[in-house]
């Protein structure tokens, strides 16, 4: 199932927040991403309809297996691409910003090749 870039960003943010917070709420996502809570609410509705998240009556947001798989894939790409660009001499800020763009459009084949290269070269894991 194809997932849009914005949905991938939301799922990645939920994953990152879930590692830092006991529970994730829409307001946490809005604060982290710099979005209005109303925009996040619409996105959460869409992710819930696609069964990428569940939301409890108390408003706690959890990734489903499919949502977690997408989030982990995007987050892995983000971390590795940021490290790779930084190792090439790109500033941390620019590397992170560019990685955020590349992570959504790079093919699985190209990312796999970069990952294999990185695993074979010190400091790029």
H or E element in which residue 99 lies = helix 92-105
pLDDT at 15: 97
Write down all domains in the chain, each with its CATH number in brackets.
5-69 (1.10.10.10), 76-119 (1.10.60.10)
pLDDT in tens, 101-123: 999 999 999 999 999 988 887 65
- pLDDT tens, residue by residue, 10-36: 999 999 999 999 999 999 999 999 999
Query: Which H helix or E strand runs over 101?
Result: helix 92-105
- pLDDT of res. 1: 45
Q: Which residues contact 62 (CB under 8 A, 6 or more apart)?
A: 18, 24, 53, 54, 55, 56
DSSP 8-state secondary structure symbol assigned to residue 90 = -
pLDDT digit string, tens, across residues 29-81: 999 999 999 999 999 999 999 999 999 999 999 999 999 999 999 999 999 99
């Amino acid at each position: 199932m194809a997932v849009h870039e914005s949905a991938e960003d939301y799922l990645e943010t939920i994953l990152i927040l879930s590692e830092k917070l006991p529970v994730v709420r829409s307001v946490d996502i809005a604060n982290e991403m710099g979005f209005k809570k109303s925009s996040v609410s619409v996105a959460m509705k869409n992710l819930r309809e696609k069964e990428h998240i569940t939301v409890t009556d108390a408003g706690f947001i959890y990734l489903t297996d499919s949502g977690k798989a997408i989030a982990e894939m995007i987050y892995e790409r983000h971390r590795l691409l940021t490290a790779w660009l930084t190792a090439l001499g790109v500033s941390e800020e620019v590397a992170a910003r560019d990685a955020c763009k590349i992570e959504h459009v790079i093919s699985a084949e190209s990312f796999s090749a970069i990952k294999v290269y990185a695993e074979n070269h010190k400091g790029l894991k």
